[in-house]
Amino acid sequence: MPFDTTDLLRLALGALFLVAGVVLYRRRSGGDNGSYGSQSGVLLLAVGALLIAWVIGGLFAHPTAAELGR
């Protein structure tokens, strides 16, 4: 499955979301306990993972002939 320019841009955007999610998640919160974590970081990680899975074709259904009733 060859990738065209838009697929490569989507793949790069997904990787950017993953990196931004890691950076946001690993940044210390300003609280007294000094814990890690950010809801926006987790959201960026999830969106980046879904975008990459979509670009490489992991979210497309490919039914077999038996499932189609042939």
Domain definitions of the chain by residue range: 5-68
Question: Could you read off the pLDDT of 27-70 as tens digits, one per residue?
Answer: 866 666 666 677 888 999 999 999 999 999 888 877 888 888 87
pLDDT confidence of residue 34:
61
CA distance 55 to 11: 6
CA distance 31 to 38: 12
pLDDT confidence of residue 20:
95
**Residue 61, φ and ψ in degrees, nearest 5:** -85, 130
CA distance 47 to 65: 32
pLDDT confidence of residue 30:
62
Residues 6+ apart with CB under 8 A from 46: 21
